[in-house]
């Protein structure tokens, strides 16, 4: 099932995303946000439309030129909708590559609030155990440093940890912006998966969101992450739209 959102909701979700996954620099053009960052976090350095009506936004070549003028490699995060078919076709013809289809999912808080929150804590800053779980074993150190830096720039966020027997078993990050709870960085230790720990973390986030007067939640999940998609579906999430990244290929034209 696909949820239809108001244009104001789409803009609020994209602005809230960049409050949580904050770039070092943020510019704009008509209908676009242009986050700029030399790190590895895709959403922090990919241009994203604020509206899903392409006639209301600046041409993609103008956006790409803005990135190059600031010394950044242009990347786009484009909806997979029919409305953007011509932009995607132009990018493909110019040698750009489509990667990492990702689903934007939304839900009312009600589906998250019923779960037990025992053992969950929300902290203003991530502790060492939270960071270790978020970054994961064997993560590339450059990518890890980039993700840690993006976390440090997040605005109005809380870091959820589910602790038991002296260890952190699950974690996630909640950001509260634009009238939405946005969920990021959900992780569960391999030895404790399948026990409902992620549901408890989400319930703790939702409880804090309701305390702030927020009643809606969104998250973004890799389209190939079947276990996560199944969990979120059970909790009442539905797809709002799908996007993919467009990156210059080795033979991409500059204009």
What is the pairing mode between strands 216-222 and 180-188?
parallel
Assign domain 107-241 to its CATH superfamily: Gcn5-related N-acetyltransferase (GNAT) (3.40.630.30)
81 Rama class: left (phi>0) / alpha (psi -120 to 50) / beta: beta
Radius of gyration of the chain (CA): 18
Count of CB atoms situated within 10 Å of the CB of 62: 12
pLDDT digits (tens, 9 = 90+) for 58-85: 999 999 999 999 999 999 999 999 999 9
Of the candidates 2, 17, 36, 201, the one whose C-alpha atom is nearest the C-alpha of residue 121 is: 201
pLDDT reading at 162 higher than 80: yes
Mean pLDDT of all residues in 169-174? 96
Residue-wise pLDDT for 200-230, tens only, equals 999 999 999 999 999 999 999 999 999 999 9
Specify the DSSP element, H or E, that contains 105: strand 96-108
Would you say residue 255 has pLDDT above 80?
Answer: no
* pLDDT at residue number 21: 94
Nearest CA-CA partner of 63 in 92, 86, 87, 38:
87
Nearest in space to 46 (alpha carbons), one of 8, 95, 100: 100
* pLDDT for the residue 151: 81
One-character DSSP codes across 190-206: GGGTTSSHHHHHHHHHH
**pLDDT value at 22 more than 70:** yes
Q: What is the mean pLDDT of residues 134-159?
A: 84
Q: By C-alpha distance, which of 41, 11, 37 is closest to 173?
A: 41
**Cβ atoms of residues 163 and 119 within 8 Å:** yes
Beta strands in 109-232 (DSSP E): 120-123, 157-164, 167-177, 180-188, 216-222
Q: Is the pLDDT of residue 138 over 80?
A: no
Question: Rounded to whole angstroms, how far apart are CA atoms 143 and 141?
Answer: 5
How is the chain split into domains, by residue range? 7-101+242-248, 107-241
Supply the pLDDT for residue 114: 86
Start-to-end Cα distance in the chain: 38
- Half-sphere exposure of residue 85, counting CA atoms within 13 Å on the CB side? 3
Distances (CA, A) of 71 to 114, 146, 209, 253: 48, 18, 38, 17
- CA dist., res. 66 & res. 69, Å (int): 5
Gap between the Cα atoms of 122 and 9, Å rounded: 26
Question: What is the structure's pLDDT at 141?
Answer: 78
With CA atoms as reference, report the closest residue to 20 among 43, 47, 53.
Answer: 43
């Amino acid at each position: 099932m696909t949820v239809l959102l108001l244009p104001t909701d789409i803009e609020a979700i994209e602005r809230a995303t960049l409050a949580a996954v904050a770039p070092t620099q943020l510019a704009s053009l008509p209908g676009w946000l242009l986050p700029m960052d030399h790190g590895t976090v895709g959403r922090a350095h990919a241009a994203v439309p604020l509206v899903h009506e392409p006639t209301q936004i600046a041409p993609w070549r103008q956006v790409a030129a803005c990135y190059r003028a600031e010394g950044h490699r242009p990347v786009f995060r484009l909806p997979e909708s029919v409305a953007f078919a011509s932009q995607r076709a132009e990018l493909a013809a110019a040698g750009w590559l489509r990667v990492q289809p990702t689903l934007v999912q939304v839900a009312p808080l009600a589906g998250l609030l019923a779960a037990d929150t025992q053992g969950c804590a929300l902290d203003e800053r991530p502790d060492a155990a939270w960071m270790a779980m978020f970054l994961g074993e064997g993560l590339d150190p450059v990518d890890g440093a980039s993700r840690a830096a993006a976390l440090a720039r997040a605005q109005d966020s809380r870091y959820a940890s589910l602790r038991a027997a002296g260890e952190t078993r699950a974690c996630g990050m909640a950001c509260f912006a634009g009238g939405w709870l946005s969920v990021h960085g959900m992780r569960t230790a391999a030895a404790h998966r399948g026990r409902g720990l992620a549901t408890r973390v989400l319930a703790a986030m939702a409880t804090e969101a309701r305390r702030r007067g927020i009643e809606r939640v969104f998250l973004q999940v890799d389209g190939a992450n079947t276990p996560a998609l199944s969990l979120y579906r059970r909790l009442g999430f539905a797809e709002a739209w799908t996007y993919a990244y467009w990156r210059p290929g080795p033979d991409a034209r500059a204009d």
